[in-house]
Amino acid sequence: MDQAVRSAVKAATADCDRNAWDAGNCPVRDVMNRISGKWSTLLLEALAEKPHRFGELRRLVPDISQRMLTQTLRDLQRDGYIEREVFPTKPPSVEYRMTPLGRSLFGPLSKVLAWAAENHDAVRAARRSFDDAGLA
Amino acid sequence: MDQAVRSAVKAATADCDRNAWDAGNCPVRDVMNRISGKWSTLLLEALAEKPHRFGELRRLVPDISQRMLTQTLRDLQRDGYIEREVFPTKPPSVEYRMTPLGRSLFGPLSKVLAWAAENHDAVRAARRSFDDAGLA
DNA sequence: AGTGCTGGTCTATTTTTGAGACTGACATCG
DNA sequence: CGATGTCAGTCTCAAAAATAGACCAGCACT
């Protein structure tokens, strides 16, 4: 398993290693920089379940500002993870839904999310012992 | 497969859904907020391969500032993903290496990294067609 | 004495994020 | 009729975070 991971990473970063992860040149960084935004995973998680409208997402993630919701949705749309459809209803409504590309990303991504949920306690424990040991 | 993902996510977010991802309450957000920093994955990637010293990491990720390198390493250490060891050599050197916890995170995480490498072209294509279609 | 290496810290500046008011077409309430 | 609310955003300005780059101490070599 460790070997499998090793080779996956090697393949994943082959282009980067040449330039030591040169900023604009590294596919991994280019893709990850969007995914790893504060809100991106939350929204992908919500939209993985089912399509949602703007206001629904706002209620689902209560502490996101409208500004960041708009922007993050647009970024996710730009990179092809989600689609936006406007319905010409009386107050026009907008629905966001995941694309096949987004769904294919969410496969691996959900594994990380699951890891986070499972290991939250271990992380909290590590954090406590770090804080207790001298350097806050 | 879709079903498997669905249930994994459901388990992962069970606590969150109750409070609609309430900020300080959600394990996933708590863990992800650290992982998803701009530099965290890069450093985890580097240290997954083998232990490295501060200066090595700096050269490996050329466009990180010393301040962010120091801080990101400390954050990763605090959450228990990496360890820091100081060697009392003549110019004292510091080695960073992954912990078992970090390694266990890196399993799923490396899958996402691999996805990023594989699908970089698709993302770039999506980005282009979005930009070409009117709204820049 | 001067230079370079180590792993950092400190300060000032730029970038990102966030809170909150505002838009505009329509619907509902009194 | 006029007030208010919903919808999906935009705009402005302040706060928070990231960055660049100078600086530090200790030691080795020349």
User: Which chain C positions come under 7 Å from a protein C-beta?
Assistant: 4-11, 17-21, 24-27
pLDDT score, position B26: 83
Would you report the helix, strand and coil content of chain B in percent, each value rounded to 5?
65, 10, 25
- Tens of pLDDT along chain A (136 residues) come to 444 444 444 444 444 444 456 656 688 888 998 898 889 999 999 999 999 999 999 999 989 999 999 999 999 999 999 999 999 887 889 999 999 999 999 999 999 999 999 999 999 999 999 998 765 5
Amino acid B92 CA to nucleotide D30 C1' distance, rounded Å: 22
- The one-character DSSP state at B61 is S
Q: Report yes or no: B84 and B59 within 8 Å, Cβ to Cβ.
A: no
pLDDT score, position B10: 47
pTM, two decimals, is: 0.84
B84 strand-pairing partners = B96
The mean-pLDDT minimum among A9-23, B13-27, B74-88, B117-131 falls in A9-23
Percent of chain B with pLDDT over 90: 61
From the Cβ of A55, is strand D under 7 Å away? yes
From the Cβ of B42, is strand D under 7 Å away? no
